[in-house]
Chains A and B, each alone.
Chain A
Amino acid sequence: MSATIALLGQPNSGKSTVFNALTGLRQHVGNWPGKTVEKKEGTFTRNGKEYAVADLPGSYSLTANSDEEVITRDFIESGKADVVCILADSSQLERSLYMMADYAGINVPSFLVLNMADVAKEQGKTINAAALEEKLGIPVIQISATDSKKYDSFFAAMDRAITQKSVINISGLEAALSKVEGYESIKELIPEGSVKNVSSMWLGVKAIENDKLVVDQLKEALSESTLGQVDALRKTSGGALATGNSKFVWIDELLDGVLEEKKEKVSISKLDKLYLSPVWGKPAVILTILLGLIGSFIPALPLMGVGSAIGALKGPVANALAGAGVSDTLIALICGVIIQSFAYIFQMLGFVFGVLLVFGLLEEVGVMARISYVFDNTMAKLGLQGKSVMPFLVSFGCTMGGAAGSRVIDNWGQKVLTIALAWAVPCGAAWSVIPMLSALFFGPGAVLVIIAILATMLLHMWVTARVFGGKLVKREDRFGMIMELPPYHKPKWGALFRYVLGRTKDTFFRVSKVVLLVCTLFWLLSYSFVPGADPVLFKIGKVIEPVTRVFGMGWKLFMAFIASSVGKEGALGVISALFTDGSFYTAFSDAMSGAARDANLGTLLLANVSKPEALAFIFAITFNMPCVVALAATYQETASAKWTARIAAYYTAGALILSAVVYHIGLLIW
């Protein structure tokens, strides 16, 4: 074998391309001894001489942080390579020359290959390889490794490096390193030749970086007292941060006069000028989200229509079953629970589909990343990421949509906390009940009630963040962030629809299970199996009334409060039926369909419910668990029954505490 060539470079520097171009089919792939890191070796013949090539594992540097780096270093230090080919990416020399800078100080001959010359040319970059060669003292060439027919310059550089035994001129790097506190002293303490094939400069730098392998090597090469001095100097040197700075300074000096490129302007697009503006950023983002929310109703319509069509089947199916002699109980179960549940699920599913599609689209085109940035600092105060604002705003329309939208939050704890806080946001169903009840009981004062609810919502979110934040969001999750915003681009519709349809299907199966279970339970409690007998719900209501009074609600209002856990708009149906002596089963059915208010409900309520009770009830249903579908969505997104139950229990208890407080405040006023 004439010589062994080792290919050294960072990942994506083109090592494998060069390796394949050199060896063709004459290569062997295995593993490095005792490691799972791939070992690639091969041979090639040129001018009658055979050369061995080792494709060293791709690594950022030569510091012993990973198996790849340790293997690479061991191979080079062992002297197995006669020459090392250092590869760098011409299109980003500032970054990719770091490996060369980290290699500087190793005495194994080397040459530098600036790969991807074609990409650099396309970027308008001109590189003077000869000037760089003069500064470095080793052969430097620029190639496109993919063009395997143009390797003449590569072989020429290789031959020169082998015959001249060229090593990198480190005088410039040493000058930069001299500004690192303690470097000169450390270098003096390490005699040249302490470790084979590496200079004392290189050992000194690695000692400052606290490289474990070098520290072990120095333990063998130096006396204990000298080692102690090195260690003491290292501690005050600034460590890897200081040496890294020096290497970057040296790289910049090397590239000065070597690399010519169009001056990179620090600028942003017009759209980013708006989104990232300290003044207009938040309004622009809120407007985008609101428009997205409105827009999400359009793709939601078909599924909502399916839901309505399923609901319309109740009558004909009930008649058909009655005609077939099926028992009333079974008809009630089929029509009032199963069909009604699926009608409800499909209507809600439409909204989920719409929200996922619209907000998935926003993410696809790059807007979601901007939303995340704009609200990051605000959300950080709650221990959340900026992206959390999206589920909150969506929750004004539907908490289930908000829970589904929390999917864009990548940290599980923050996602759960976001959903927990989103529950405090009154959903569209709540907003269909709150104004009506407020206007009925308080006339023009309804505005004050709504303002009080919004204020309570903010307070609730703050308290909830304090209650759950400690367990869900670790302290280290809240540090300053660097965000590399993606460029705006056209959406990949196929991928987006596959995602949205997949998620909608998944949601359907999961939600169906929970909704059917809960609805069946409510149905069992509210149905009179024996004609004339009181259903369980009534009996329970009478028993618990002394307790419910504490919360400002009689048992009928309390039952409506419980029904609001299934669907908030349905609470009106429940109190309508209960206060007008309607059947409990009908009341429950109304709760699910969100319909059927008695025409005289207003009169009946004013006659039977006091203002403090009304206020307590409004707050209780507003801040109660949003609905059973939101509960299912929460379980789906958190994948935690424990946290779903914990949040549900917290909101139920919180709603009752709030109603009690509000009731007693009401008693003071009225």
Chain B
Amino acid sequence: MNALIALLGDGHARTLWMLARDLGTTESDVKRQIDYLEHIGMIRKVIGDGVCGSSCSGSCSGSCSGCPSGGSACKGCLPEGGFQNMGQMWELIPQ
């Protein structure tokens, strides 16, 4: 996991496949490390407006008080079961 953290330190984006390749391991192992690093608070999921639907209050006409970013996307704006195919992103949390 130290190697994974070190790789992220360069500020570049990498896919799971690239991390597995660069770390000489498998994507399953990378996913396991991500789970753990997220759990111990070293990385975090990038929570986007598109993900906050369930915690939103209000509608598209107002700002979204439930969103961490204060964005404007709300549940009513998002199609259920679709248009959420941007994958998942994690970022390093400054320690």
Interface set of A (CB-CB < 8 Å, partner B): 60-61, 63, 65, 92, 94-95, 98, 209, 240-241, 244-245, 248, 264, 266-268, 272, 276, 360, 363-366, 368-369, 372-373, 376-377, 380, 386-387, 407-413, 415, 475-486, 489, 491-492, 494-496, 498-499, 502-503, 506, 636-640
**Which of B5, B69, B93 is in CB contact (< 8 Å) with A412?**
B69
**Which of A244, A415, A494, A499 is in CB contact (< 8 Å) with B78?**
A499
**Which of B35, B46, B87 is in CB contact (< 8 Å) with A411?**
B46
* In contact, A266 and B17 (Cβ under 8 angstroms): yes
**Which of A365, A483, A492 is in CB contact (< 8 Å) with B87?**
A483
Which chain B positions have C-beta within 8 A of A65? 39, 41
Which chain A positions have C-beta within 8 A of B76? 502
Which chain A positions have C-beta within 8 A of B67? 412
27 A-B contacts, Cβ less than 8 Å apart?
A: A63-B39, A94-B28, A209-B40, A241-B5, A241-B42, A244-B36, A245-B1, A264-B26, A264-B27, A369-B86, A373-B13, A376-B13, A377-B11, A380-B11, A410-B50, A410-B51, A415-B49, A479-B91, A479-B93, A480-B10, A480-B92, A482-B8, A482-B14, A482-B89, A492-B81, A506-B60, A636-B72
Closest to A362 in B: B85
**Which of A266, A380, A502 is in CB contact (< 8 Å) with B20?**
A266
Which chain A positions have C-beta within 8 A of B80? 495
Which chain A positions have C-beta within 8 A of B17? 266-268, 272, 276, 485
4 more CB-based (< 8 A) A-B contacts, given A481-B14, A506-B77? A479-B11, A481-B90, A482-B19, A639-B63
Closest to B36 in A: A244
Given contacts A95-B28, A264-B28, A506-B60, contact A483 B14 (CB under 8 A): yes
Closest to B25 in A: A266
A665 CB → nearest B CB, Å: 37
Given contacts A479-B91, A637-B72, contact A408 B86 (CB under 8 A): yes
Given contacts A98-B32, A266-B20, contact A638 B72 (CB under 8 A): yes
Closest to A492 in B: B82
A638–B63 CA distance with the chains assembled, in angstroms = 9
Number of A-B contacts (CB under 8 A): 198
Given contacts A408-B86, A484-B87, A499-B83, contact A60 B39 (CB under 8 A): yes
Question: Chain B 37-55 against A: per-residue CB contact (8 Å), 1 yes, 0 no?
Answer: 0011111001111110000
B28 CB → nearest A CB, Å: 5
* In contact, B91 and A276 (Cβ under 8 angstroms): no
Which chain A positions have C-beta within 8 A of B36? 98, 244, 248
* In contact, A244 and B40 (Cβ under 8 angstroms): yes
Total contacting residues, chain B, CB less than 8 A:
67
Which chain A positions have C-beta within 8 A of B51? 410
**Which of B11, B16, B70 is in CB contact (< 8 Å) with A478?**
B11
B56 at interface by CB-CB < 8 Å:
no
Which chain A positions have C-beta within 8 A of B85? 363-366, 368-369, 486, 489
A494–B79 CA distance with the chains assembled, in angstroms = 9
Which chain B positions have C-beta within 8 A of A94? 28-29, 32
* In contact, B28 and A266 (Cβ under 8 angstroms): no
Give the top 8 A-B pairs by smallest Cβ distance, nearest first.
Answer: A410-B48, A495-B82, A639-B72, A480-B8, A495-B79, A412-B69, A376-B13, A492-B82
A94–B34 CA distance with the chains assembled, in angstroms = 12
Closest to A372 in B: B86
A284 CB → nearest B CB, Å: 16
A369–B85 CA distance with the chains assembled, in angstroms = 8
Closest to A413 in B: B69
**Which of A272, A479, A495, A496 is in CB contact (< 8 Å) with B92?**
A479
A399 CB → nearest B CB, Å: 19
Name which of B1, B28, B40, B41 has the most chain A CB atoms within 10 A of its CB: B40
Closest to B50 in A: A410
Closest to A479 in B: B92
* In contact, A485 and B15 (Cβ under 8 angstroms): yes
A516–B91 CA distance with the chains assembled, in angstroms = 43
**Which of B11, B13, B69, B79 is in CB contact (< 8 Å) with A386?**
B13
Closest to B86 in A: A369
A47 CB → nearest B CB, Å: 39
A111–B85 CA distance with the chains assembled, in angstroms = 39
Which chain A positions have C-beta within 8 A of B35? 60, 95, 98
A499–B15 CA distance with the chains assembled, in angstroms = 28
A280–B71 CA distance with the chains assembled, in angstroms = 34
* In contact, B28 and A410 (Cβ under 8 angstroms): no
